[in-house]
Structure 1
């Protein structure tokens, strides 16, 4: 496959576009913002989302959605999770059945609790769907810093095709047949990253972050396995790997938003200051609904929901977590 379309000119979609163009592929980007389009085509830079990175000549941006889709063999949905359904509906009239749909979003849908692949399948039932996930900050991918990710699909033959398209000397792609585990791991870790950021913002140290990450992994496994994911998946790239990179890096918008909230900034102001979608905030609502329905104990998610949506002081939330009844670790 040599012709790839990215729908959404955000940071990660742009980074992947740069990588594929360096491999010699023809890449088109669609975005609804004229400024993003002109910056890519004229300045050869995505000033808003990936400033300072040169975009190769093999990448061209368009405002016309149909033009980007027609002729492309691989269609990458590079928008936040809450925009996936609307975009899927919008592109359906332009698609041919042999075009592979790839999603790089992480999350579940509020209300329905559906995974990204399930949302796309409902709106685009005739096309193969592949999910790409794993620990991969756009800023590092664009600079060719070694990165590993995972791809999954209901039909793994299509996952292998996507693996071949994206594989490079600095971007290693694994396959994993556990589509539920891959999607859930990538979504829940955003919640824990937000909590880790709040801990940093309050001024707590490495001990607190280690506790959050470890007990956060327990929450990922609890809900992931309840929904049908395999436990080994959560110890892999889309679980542990994604958790580590998102909880520890300043590239992580979830962690950065959490730091601001921990310092006393409102959730709304924190999101505005970050300037991009903070997926963890939407994930908290969705997974709070889901864990209540499934009757699963997820104390970090509980407390974070109270902090963000019920006005609980973050320090009081930490006290609530630390003063729960004694229990065994396993």
Structure 2
């Protein structure tokens, strides 16, 4: 017992030292905040951020620069409309933006001297922006990704935070949660989870936390980010249920099994089942919201009900937004095939596999529940840790 206490004390001391060093490298207030992106979620998050920057002058500079991909709306530049009328009439119509948000189409100007960088752009455009941002951001800047998606290369999964981290050479946190942008913009209560180093997370919590937008922090940013991406696969399954006319019992089963498989996939990567993370807003809450109201659910319902392919459905229903669930589903299946070369991915991820077969292999949507009890039987074997049962 004494030895264990000594080990815990040493571990605590190492953590405190790491946090001290982290604090020493942090930018000093008042911090300049820049937002990279100005779509529906970008502007909604910008409202929260701008309100905090205006109310906390000792921590933040009041002006919040927002990079806008310039376009014309009814003959006027979008940046002009946002700076004059204080509204993004294309992506968040009817919602007033705080006057301390300044729309800027020049990326270098938007991130010049930024101490806190908030990324909320489609991830496929990200890499092209990073060299300019790196040249202009402040020394010791910190960053956070609000981008719900993941990328892939020949080695497997590439997190958006990893792309930013590599491109800028700085630490990157992640914010995920049950965050339907239109509801937050209307003032409804919502929660979110920030994953990242403790010192960064505390500062970022001050950036985002509002009376009706509660933010909690955890250290495991990778698990937080993976929850935000993998839930889109489960949402496809929920949409298949809706297209088939199944009720809430069926969808609840999809959500429960999906949450379990999200945790297992994270465990494949980290070696630890992320129980605490799954109980955060980034886990169960985001999954529930997405399975009832997200774009992936809506498109999956249309896929079952009609005869159009995914590209046609995306063009018809999303108004220029991108469907993340199908891309993530296809790439995650590749990862599972590599992890389980004997073809037994079904034993551990039957829902993910069923969704892939329906979405891409011509399987009937009615097969969504086939074999879902397989992975449950493994848990009945006493004394076998989940991680070991997967190998």
TM-score by length of 1: 0.90
Match in the other structure for 1:115: 159
Residue 357 (structure 2) pairs with residue 306 (structure 1): yes
Match in the other structure for 2:63: 26
Aligned to 2:150, the other structure's residue is in SS state: coil
Residues 25-82 of structure 1, C-alpha deviation per residue, up to 9 Å, x if partnerless?
4222112232343442344322222222122212121110001001332111111233
Aligned to 2:139, the other structure's residue is in SS state: coil
Q: Distance in 1 between matches of 2:131 and 2:303?
A: 35
Q: CA deviation at 1:90?
A: 4.3
Q: Distance in 2 between matches of 1:34 and 1:324?
A: 47
Counterparts in 2 of 1:48 and 1:269: CA distance versus 1, 3 Å = farther
Contact residue 181 and residue 225 of structure 1 kept, 8 A: no
Query: Residue 279 of structure 2 is aligned with which of 235, 242, 261?
Result: 235
Aligned to 2:263, the other structure's residue is in SS state: helix
Residues 130-188 of structure 1, C-alpha deviation per residue, up to 9 Å, x if partnerless?
211111111122122111111122x3211111011111111111110122221211111
Aligned to 2:216, the other structure's residue is in SS state: strand
Match in the other structure for 1:213: 255
Counterparts in 2 of 1:241 and 1:324: CA distance versus 1, 3 Å = closer
Counterparts in 2 of 1:122 and 1:43: CA distance versus 1, 3 Å = same
Q: CA deviation at 1:104?
A: 0.3
Match in the other structure for 2:145: 103
Higher relative contact order, structure no. (Cα contacts within 8 Å, ≥ 6 residues apart): 1
Match in the other structure for 2:236: 194
Query: Residue 325 of structure 2 is aligned with which of 276, 280, 283?
Result: 280
Q: Specify every segment of 5 or more residues in structure 2 that has no aligned partner in the other structure, as ranges.
A: 1-29, 55-61, 73-77, 380-391
Residue 54 (structure 2) pairs with residue 3 (structure 1): no
Aligned to 1:224, the other structure's residue is in SS state: helix
Which stretch of the first structure deviates more once superposed, 275-284 or 79-88? Answer: 79-88
Match in the other structure for 1:124: 168
Counterparts in 2 of 1:324 and 1:278: CA distance versus 1, 3 Å = closer
Q: Which has the larger radius of gyration?
A: 2
Q: CA deviation at 1:113?
A: 0.7
Query: Could you say what the CA RMSD is over the residues aligned between the two structures, in angstroms?
Result: 2.1
Counterparts in 2 of 1:284 and 1:148: CA distance versus 1, 3 Å = same
Q: How does 1:1-330 map to 2 (within 5 A)?
A: 1=30, 3-23=32-52, 24=54, 25-35=62-72, 36-111=78-153, 112-125=156-169, 127-153=170-196, 155-228=197-270, 229=272, 230-249=274-293, 252-264=294-306, 265-272=308-315, 273-275=317-319, 276-295=321-340, 296=345, 297-315=348-366, 317-318=367-368, 321-322=369-370, 328-329=376-377, 330=379
Counterparts in 2 of 1:192 and 1:89: CA distance versus 1, 3 Å = farther
Q: Distance in 1 between matches of 2:47 and 2:31?
A: 14
Aligned to 1:245, the other structure's residue is in SS state: helix
Q: CA deviation at 1:2?
A: 5.2
Contact residue 2 and residue 26 of structure 1 kept, 8 A: no
- Number of residue equivalences: 323
